[in-house]
Amino acid sequence: MENIKTMDRITFDYVIVGAGAAGSILANRLSEDGKHSVCLLEAGGKDWHPFLHIPAGFIKVLFNPSYTWQFSSEPTDWTNGRRVPLPQGRTLGGSTSINGLVYNRGQRQDFEEWAASGNEGWSYAEVLPYFKRNERRLGAADPTFRSADGVVPVSDIAWKHPICEQFIAGAQGLGMPLNPDYNGETQAGVGYYQRTIRGRWRMSTARTYLAPARKRHNLSILTTARATKVLFDGKQAVGVRYVRGAGSGEQEVSARREVIICSGAINTPKLLQLSGVGPADFLRSMGVQVVHDLPGVGENLTDHYSVRLVASARNIVTMNELARAPRLWGQIANWLFDRPNILSLSPSLVHWFWSSRSGQSRPDLQGVFSPASYREGYVGMLDTFPGMTCGVWQHRPYSKGSVRIVSRNFRDLPHVQPNYLADERDRATLVGGMKIARRLLETPELSQYVNTETLPGKHVQRDDELLDFARRFGVSSYHVNGTAKMGLAGERLAVVDSELRVHGLRNLRIVDASVMPQMPSANTCAATMMIAEKASDMILGRAPLTPETKFIDMGLASGKPFLEVAPDAA
């Protein structure tokens, strides 16, 4: 409920900043026993627009400033001087209300590395029960890894386009095993994506966690409430200053126990820096009074930089035509009557997880395939011709970036520099992935539907030509993370400890994708929800869920050959 009116200050046990993937979960979990008062601040509005709930509506809201923060990267030579769009959710549910709906946890080794770097309690065995507590699997799955008893529905694709079936068959012919559950025993292979969709509807954290909790007397949800500063008494966080609407004055809310920042990997470091927490010399250069010198705030940024190869199609109708009148009217009718339709699909239908080169123990590439294509490879406007897309990105990029405020004005967007492709290893991996994507579009099984490659085009063959195409047409996968990383006290860039408490400060935690010490081999939403579920037990002082150890190593399926890529054509 929303019950705070204009007042000097009101006090809650917990103040949560951001109602996204993590904040919505925490608001539910911290208020569910009725013993603690919780205030949830969300800068965006309510999630009332139908496009926030119809899966295909993402294409209408992703770049709409009414529902998203319109961040972008700073230009570099490796993006051909372009600013790469980095939209983030700005409504109840955050990016779970506007994302591509893919549910992808990552690989076992991702979390083993988190724990090995000193983050006690974050091994795969220890996070698996929290993945399960979050998930309500709607399809068949191995209970060793999956759960049908959680909160967020995770479903299989009901409508399988013939092009997708032939793409999967072609990938198998090239050596990729069919993998119906990449969130299970092993990630490697090819198959259909799992999505946070139930029936016709997107299942955001606003819908699955906030909606059941909204009427609780001890939970107050404030929309259009933009946090401007965390308030401190010495080194102790005591509240949050915020504004509601462009013309309103600043208001404050106090936290009796903790302030918990869940604003995402761009807005979280921005808010910390505006509040005087971050690299001291930089803060002073911005005219910000230093509360606590913490060099890692805003550093360690990573993101998935993706490239899409496009082919025009023949002998079949693709989603490009189905999304336009008159065929669109039939699809809308199918959606209304809950029959298979394109409005209930996620943008990416088929996955392939593989390696850019042989000799590796686990995939370093994530690929996508859809019987649709976007103009010049960007998400936003479908091509006018029948088309298909095979995209790829590197799982764990070496290139690191940063987020920095540009002034003391909270309304100014921060400087975001992911440094895409700055590391030579990232460039080599992505080019290897592009070669695999091209081979997947050239299989005999798919040939009956492929007319010609339109992007980058057959004239682009050499490694340097493929890399130049990636520079000019690569885009973000919207998986920014790591800007308030978890690590040991004294570690140069560590911002929070293994219980997500900010080093050197009291009563302040961060719970979102910012805290990821290394990037998971996945879309970041599932791991962010897991982090929030685990954090709720930490905050309430509950014993962690019992680790689960009945599993097999999540690596490449044994005995399966790699899909070798062709050498440089130069």
What length is written for the chain?
Answer: 570
Residue 321 one-letter amino acid: E
CB atoms within 10 A of CB 50: 9
Beta strand 305-313 pairing with 475-476: antiparallel
Q: Which two tokens stand for residue 271?
A: 């808010």
479 is catalytic: yes
Residue 18: phi and psi, rounded to 5, are 110, 120
Do the beta carbons of residue 286 and residue 384 sit within 8 Å? no
Catalytic residue among 53, 161, 395, 479: 479
CA neighbor of 243 nearest in space, from 483, 410, 419: 410
Beta bridge partners of 91: 45
**Residue with structure tokens 């990636």?**
470
Rg of the chain (C-alpha set):
23
CA neighbor of 263 nearest in space, from 232, 249, 242, 248: 242
Q: Which two tokens stand for residue 114?
A: 């988190």
CB atoms within 10 A of CB 131: 25
Do the beta carbons of residue 434 and residue 307 sit within 8 Å? yes
Cα separation, 493 vs 298, whole angstroms: 9
Q: Which two tokens stand for residue 564?
A: 């070798």
Cα separation, 184 vs 180, whole angstroms: 9
CA neighbor of 97 nearest in space, from 43, 135, 54, 140: 54
First to last CA, the chain: 64
Mention every residue, 6+ apart, whose C-beta is less than 8 A from residue 147. 131, 132, 133, 135, 136, 137
Cα separation, 225 vs 232, whole angstroms: 19
What would the DSSP string read from start to end of 158-182?
Answer: S---HHHHHHHHHHHHTTPPB-S-T
Cα separation, 378 vs 36, whole angstroms: 45
E strand segments, 162-276 = 189-192, 194-195, 197-198, 201-202, 219-222, 225-233, 236-244, 250-261
Cα separation, 502 vs 510, whole angstroms: 7
Do the beta carbons of residue 52 and residue 67 sit within 8 Å? yes
Cα separation, 92 vs 89, whole angstroms: 8
Q: Which two tokens stand for residue 310?
A: 């496009």
Do the beta carbons of residue 434 and residue 309 sit within 8 Å? yes
Name the residues annotated as catalytic. Answer: 479
